[in-house]
Amino acid sequence: MKKKEFEEQFDFIAKDLNKLRTAAFGIISSALSDIDIITLPIQSRVKSRESASKKIDIKKYKAPLEEMTDLVGFRIITYLESDVEKIEHKLRSCFDIDSENSIDKRKPERLDTVGYRSLHLICKLGKGRKDLSEYQNVWNISFEVQVRTILEHAWAEIEHKQNYKSDVALPPNLQRRFIVLSGTLELIDRELSTIVDEAQDYQDKIKNSPEEIAADTLSETSLFTIAEKDAKNKGITLREALSTSGGPELLEELFSFGVETNSELQELLTTIDANLYPKYESETTVYGYVRDAMIICDPHRYFKHSFHGQYVIEEGEAVKYNALSPHIADFISLAEKYGVGIVPNEY
Of 32-41, 51-60, 103-112, 123-132, the one with minimum mean pLDDT is 103-112
What percent of the chain clears pLDDT 70, i.e. is strictly above it? 90
Is 200 contained in some domain?
no
Whether pLDDT at 115 is above 60:
no
Whether residue 178 sits in one domain with residue 231: no
Is 177 contained in some domain?
yes
Question: Looking at residue 77, what is its pLDDT?
Answer: 95
Mean pLDDT score across all residues of the chain: 85
Is 237 contained in some domain?
yes
CATH of the domain at 161: 3.30.460.10
Whether pLDDT at 32 is above 70:
yes
Question: Looking at residue 283, what is its pLDDT?
Answer: 76
Whether pLDDT at 111 is above 50:
no
Is 196 contained in some domain?
no
Whether residue 213 sits in one domain with residue 136: no
Which residues span the domain enclosing 61? 3-185
Whether pLDDT at 163 is above 60:
no
Whether residue 175 sits in one domain with residue 260: no
Is 106 contained in some domain?
yes
pLDDT: is 126 or 181 the higher one?
A: 126
pTM more than 0.75 = no
Whether residue 166 sits in one domain with residue 302: no
For CA atoms 45, 69, 150, 89, the dihedral sign is positive
Whether residue 157 sits in one domain with residue 67: yes
Interval 11-20: pLDDT, tens: 889 999 999 9
Whether residue 166 sits in one domain with residue 31: yes
What percent of the chain clears pLDDT 90, i.e. is strictly above it? 40
Whether residue 231 sits in one domain with residue 173: no
Whether pLDDT at 92 is above 90:
yes
Smallest CA-to-CA distance from 217 within 253, 250, 256, 265 is with: 265
Whether residue 110 sits in one domain with residue 257: no
Distances (CA, A) of 123 to 15, 72, 75, 152: 19, 10, 13, 22
DSSP state, residue 325: -
Is 258 contained in some domain?
yes
Is 190 contained in some domain?
no
Is 218 contained in some domain?
yes
Counted domains in the chain:
2
Whether residue 19 sits in one domain with residue 153: yes
Whether residue 325 sits in one domain with residue 253: yes
Q: What is the mean pLDDT of residues 46-75?
A: 86
